[in-house]
Chain A
Amino acid sequence: MKTKSLVSKISGVSFAAMLMLSALPANSSFAADLNALVWCDHSDPNLLKPFEDANGIKVNVKEFEGTGAGLALVDQSKPGDWDVMVIDSIDIHRGVEKKLFEPLPEDKLPMADLFPEVKMDSSTVIDGKRYGITEKFGYNTIGFNKTKVDPADMNSLAALTSDKYKGRIAIYDYYLPVIGMAAMSIGKKTSELTEADLPAIKEVLAKMKANAKAVTDVASSQTALATGEADILVGGGEWVTAGIAKDKPELDFSIPKEGAVLWSQSLAMFKDSANKEMALKFIQYVMSPEGQARLATSSCYWGMPSNTKAALNDDQKKILRFAEQPDFLKRAQAYPAPNEALDKKMQDLWTEMIQAK
Chain B
Amino acid sequence: MILPQNRVAWASVSPALGWTLAFFVLPFAAMVAISFYPQDGSGPSLVSYAQFFNSPSYYYALFNSLEVTGLVTVISILLAYPFAWILADIVPERWQRLALTLAVLPFWTSYVVRSYSWLLVLSEKGLVNTTLVDLGILSAPIQLANTRGATIIGFVHFFVMLLTLTIYANLKQLSPNYRKAAADLGAGPIRSFIHVVLPLTLPGIMVGAFLTFVLAIGDYITPQILGGNNELLMPQLIMMQIGRRGDFSSASALSIILMVVVTVAYLFCARWLKIERT
Contact = CB atoms under 8 A, between A and B. Distances in A.
B146 to A, nearest CB: 4
Contacts of A18: 18, 22
A167 interface: yes
Interface in A317-357: 340-341, 343-344, 347-348, 350-352, 354-355
Interface stretch (A116-124, A223-231, A248-256, A299-307): A223-231
Contact of B248 (A72, A167, A174): A72
A3 interface: yes
Contacts of A63: none
A176 B7 contact: no
A4 B8 CA distance: 8
Interface in B223-246: 224-225, 228-232, 237, 240, 242-246
B60 to A, nearest CB: 5
Contacts of A55: none
Interface residues of B, number: 44
Contact of B11 (A11, A167, A223, A224): A11
B228 A66 contact: no
A21 B22 CA distance: 10
B237 A351 contact: yes
Interface residues of A, number: 47
Interface stretch (A36-44, A208-216, A262-270): A208-216
Interface string A190-204: 000000000000000
Contacts of A340: 39-40
B146 A213 contact: yes
Interface stretch (B51-59, B80-88, B98-106, B158-166): B51-59
A351 B14 CA distance: 45
B76 interface: no
A68 B246 contact: yes
Nearest to A220: B225
Given A7-B7, A21-B22, A69 B243 contact: yes
A347 B11 contact: no
Interface in A153-200: 167, 170, 173-176
B251 to A, nearest CB: 9
B145 interface: yes
Interface in B1-39: 4-5, 7-8, 11-12, 14-15, 18, 22, 39
Given A10-B15, A214-B228, A224-B146, 16 more contacts: A4-B4, A6-B11, A14-B15, A68-B242, A68-B244, A68-B246, A69-B246, A176-B244, A213-B143, A216-B146, A217-B229, A223-B116, A223-B119, A227-B120, A227-B123, A343-B245
24 contacts: A7-B11, A17-B18, A66-B243, A69-B246, A71-B246, A212-B230, A213-B143, A213-B146, A215-B229, A216-B229, A217-B224, A220-B224, A223-B119, A228-B125, A229-B123, A229-B124, A229-B146, A341-B40, A343-B245, A344-B247, A351-B58, A351-B232, A351-B237, A354-B230
- Please provide the 8 A-B residue pairs with the shortest distance between their CB atoms, ordered closest to farther: A68-B246, A214-B228, A66-B243, A215-B229, A214-B146, A10-B11, A355-B57, A66-B244
